Amino acid sequence: MKLTKNKILITGGASGIGFGLAERFIRENNTVIICGRRESALKEAAEKLPSVITKVCDLAVEADRIELYNWIAEHHGDLNVLVNNAGIQNWMNIKDSDFYQKADAEITTNILAPLHLTKLFSQLNSLDTIINVTSGLAFVPLSAVPVYCGTKAFMRSFTLSLRHSLKSDIEVIEMIPPALNTDLGGKGIHNAHPSVSDFVESVFAQMKEGKTELTFGTSADRAKANNETIAAYFNRMNP
């Protein structure tokens, strides 16, 4: 994708990876819109990035997704990049009493919402790029976040099909982060992992080279692993 003069929607752009991407895209002279559930987080992001445009929106709610699309079509009809970044991660076990409820929320936010946004935003004539944020866990599951890994494997698979079916119209890029230091899954869980800024620098360099599958650190190995390597990773990650 070209890295400048785009109008970009980044879902979940007030924190973590989404915020890192927003900051970097703004530095490259792009117009960036971010959305999320917490108005306070969006306000804090806008204090740091004065040009950013914000929209409160709960992507787990179908009506909110439609409202977001209609608002963009009306006010930002020249939007050309959709970044499906928002996601949640639930640490859970099949024996938990609220397993099903947590799974439902995760599948809605991590799968149904980006699928619906992809369908809605592909109606915009200006849309030329979709970026889906998947995970190294799409390739090798961590059993403590069993449904999360499944949602990312789904999005990995869907992204391959989407790239193929839209190839003459829309460029489809997959960002495949390994564990990074964000608040995903709860504060502190990811503290020991590499920084978002190192990840963002690396994926920007890869986009500049025209790559469409963007890996970093251990996700590079996992994304091209054979069954034997996957089994070895699984045993290391799930002692």
Ligand X SMILES: NC(=O)c1ccc[n+]([C@@H]2O[C@H](COP(=O)([O-])OP(=O)(O)OC[C@H]3O[C@@H](n4cnc5c(N)ncnc54)[C@H](OP(=O)(O)O)[C@@H]3O)[C@@H](O)[C@H]2O)c1
CA 20, CA 70: separation in Å to the nearest integer?
A: 26
* Joined tokens for residue 199: 């990840």
* Residue 74 Cβ vs ligand X, minimum distance, rounded to whole Å: 20
Among 8, 23, 24, 36, contact with ligand X (rule: CB under 6 A): 36
Among 73, 88, 153, 166, binds ligand X (CB under 6 A): 88
148 is catalytic: yes
Rounded Cα–Cα distance for residues 185 and 112 (Å):
19
Locate 61 and state its tokens.
Answer: 């709610």
Site size toward ligand X, by CB under 6 A: 31
- Contacts of 85 by beta carbon, 8 Å cutoff, 6+ apart: 10, 11, 12, 13, 17, 18, 21, 131, 133
Hey, how many other C-beta atoms are within 10 angstroms of the C-beta on 204? 17
Q: For ligand X, give the closer residue by CB, 6 or 89.
A: 89
CB of 97 to ligand X, least distance (A): 23
CA–CA distances in Å: residue 98 to residues 102, 165, 202: 6, 37, 38
Interface residue with ligand X among 81, 180, 200, 214 (CB under 6 A) is: 180
If one asks whether residue 159 binds ligand X (CB under 6 A), the answer comes out as no
From the list 66-74, 96-104, 176-184, 201-209, the region that binds ligand X by CB under 6 A is 176-184
DSSP strands (E only) in the chain: 7-11, 31-36, 53-56, 81-84, 129-133, 171-176, 213-215
Min dist. Cβ of residue 59 to ligand X (A)? 3
Residue in 6, 54, 80, 109 binding ligand X, rule: CB under 6 A: 109
Q: Which residues bind ligand X (CB under 6 A)?
A: 11-12, 14-18, 36-38, 41, 57-60, 85-89, 109, 133, 135, 177, 179-180, 182-184, 190, 193
Positions marked catalytic: 148
